[in-house]
Amino acid sequence: MRTKRLLIPGPSPVEGKIAEEMAMPAVPHYGKEWLEAYRKTEELLQRLFQMRKAKVYPLVGPGHAGLEAIVITLLKQDDKALVIDNGFFGRRLREVLDAHGIETFSIHSRWGSPPDMRRVEEVLSSRYVRALFAVHSETSTGMVNPMRELGSLAHEYGSLFAVDAVSSIGGLDLPCDEWKIDACFGASQKCLGSPPGIAPVAVRGSILESVDPDDVKAWYFNLLIWDKYREDWGSWHPQPTTISTNVFFAFKAALEGVFEEGLEKRVERHRTVGRAYRESLRSMGFETVAQEEDCSDTVTCVRPPPGVDATELQKRLGEDFDILVAGGIGELKGEVLRIGHMGPTANLQDLLAVVGSLGSILKESTEVDVNSALEVATSMSKGLL
């Protein structure tokens, strides 16, 4: 079986020291060595979330484990929540809230379009909303939501601001304090380039202090339980359950890699690659689902030129060029390509491979100028050379 370039919107390839940690012998999930690694991971997470007075938790599970922990710990069944619904994962936020009996309102907009901020303010001002939920980088549409504006509105009307940062943490800037984000969750397998299995969560400490423990009807997803074990067993076993030590040490290595590269430099690398993808693909007739000012720099979502089938393009990339990208989901199924450039795949080599391969396929039926598209990609990526 030939090795394929994994350029889907997650998981990302696991490479270098991170991959080496997965091959190491298992060690205990408690004791001196574990405690030192756990404390270091907490410190790195606080820096990554840019939330000074945060409590952070490396939950075991997919990103949605972080979402459920936030919902279960911070909201009660008589609370109300407002959701920004402009993509597949925005809609998923509401599904999870509904499953927990939270009365939920949605601000709907066309997929790939930002929310109507007047409607957001109208709902927040007209009823008591415990929390506003939004996706930072929406992988179904390749767009980012206006975090700063949403956080300001939430706080103006006394609501918490909770954010899905699954496809942005470690790739896009995420200044939780500056954007007034109160609770945030991510995932290990996307921009961080670590294996799936860790859902990092950050919650402002003052909010957790106001939670009545009797209101939280859960155990594992109860962040107060995690606090209790950290306090009571913190000298040797700071978490309530077993954590896969290999997955955890790989995650720690991924976090260390972020700061070895430099967070600002890493964000700029993703910004450079994202813009280069969009401009080079536009030069061949592709169209981004979102407007340029709303596009994410970790995943590019594009409609092919007129007359070109997106599903066939995806198939040809995999079969003829060993490049794996994703197709559309939800309302965009069969209409778009979604290309992940997260963590290790936000690089010039993969960019040129995708642009060149797509150009070769299009050239069979159109007059696309592949060399011109490659020149666009290269010129916009000079900082990566």
Q: Is 132 helix (H, G, I), strand (E, B) or coil?
A: strand
41, 92, 161, 345 from 262: Cα distances, Å: 16, 32, 27, 17
Q: Is 153 helix (H, G, I), strand (E, B) or coil?
A: helix
Backbone angles phi and psi of 196, in degrees to 5: -60, 150
Place of tokens 């109208």: 122
Cis peptide before 58 (omega within 30 of 0): no
pLDDT tens-place string over residues 113-134: 999 999 999 999 998 999 999 9
Instruction: Concatenate the DSSP letters of all residues of 286-352 into one string.
Output: -EESS-GGGB-SSEEEEEPSTT--HHHHHHHHHHHH-EE-EE--GGGTTT-EEEE--GGG-SHHHHH
Backbone angles phi and psi of 116, in degrees to 5: -75, 105
The confidence score (pLDDT) of residue 367 equals 86
Please state the pTM of the whole predicted model.
0.97
Residue partners of 261: CB distance under 8 A and separation at least 6: 269
- Assign 3-state DSSP to the chain and report helix, strand, coil percentages, each to 5: 45, 15, 40
**Residue 341: is its pLDDT beyond 60?**
yes
The rounded distance, in Å, linking the Cα atoms of 325 and 315 is: 9
120 forms beta bridges with none
The rounded distance, in Å, linking the Cα atoms of 286 and 366 is: 13
The rounded distance, in Å, linking the Cα atoms of 108 and 130 is: 19
- Whether the Cβ atoms of residue 237 and residue 229 lie closer than 8 Å to each other: yes
| Span 353-382, average pLDDT | 92
Kindly tell me the sign of the dihedral angle through the C-alpha atoms of 271, 272, 277, 282. Answer: positive
**Residue 273: is its pLDDT beyond 60?**
yes
pLDDT tens-place string over residues 4-55: 999 999 999 999 999 999 999 999 999 999 999 999 999 999 999 999 999 9
The confidence score (pLDDT) of residue 184 equals 98
**Residue 383: is its pLDDT beyond 80?**
no
| Span 362-384, average pLDDT | 89
Delineate the domains of the chain, giving CATH numbers in brackets: 5-9+262-384 (3.90.1150.10), 16-260 (3.40.640.10)
Give me the chain's average pLDDT, please. Answer: 96
Task: Place 385 in a pLDDT band, splitting at 50, 70 and 90.
Answer: low
Q: Is 187 helix (H, G, I), strand (E, B) or coil?
A: coil
The rounded distance, in Å, linking the Cα atoms of 79 and 65 is: 20
**Residue 1: is its pLDDT beyond 70?**
no
Residue partners of 55: CB distance under 8 A and separation at least 6: 202, 203, 204, 205, 208, 223, 227
**Residue 244: is its pLDDT beyond 90?**
yes
- Which structure tokens are listed for 96? 């999870």
User: Which amino acid is present at 121?
Assistant: E
**Residue 289: is its pLDDT beyond 90?**
yes
* 103 closest CA partner among 76, 141, 142, 135: 76
**Residue 84: is its pLDDT beyond 70?**
yes
Task: Place 2 in a pLDDT band, splitting at 50, 70 and 90.
Answer: low
Q: Hey, how many other C-beta atoms are within 10 angstroms of the C-beta on 292?
A: 10
| Cα-based angle 38, 183, 92 (whole degrees, multiple of 5) | 110
Q: Is 259 left (phi over 0), alpha (psi -120 to 50) or beta?
A: alpha
| Span 57-83, average pLDDT | 96
What spatial distance separates the first Cα and last Cα of the chain, rounded to whole Å? 31
**Residue 195: is its pLDDT beyond 90?**
yes
Q: What is the CA radius of gyration of the chain?
A: 21
- Whether the Cβ atoms of residue 151 and residue 184 lie closer than 8 Å to each other: no
Q: Tell me what percent of the residues of the chain surpass a pLDDT of 90.
A: 96
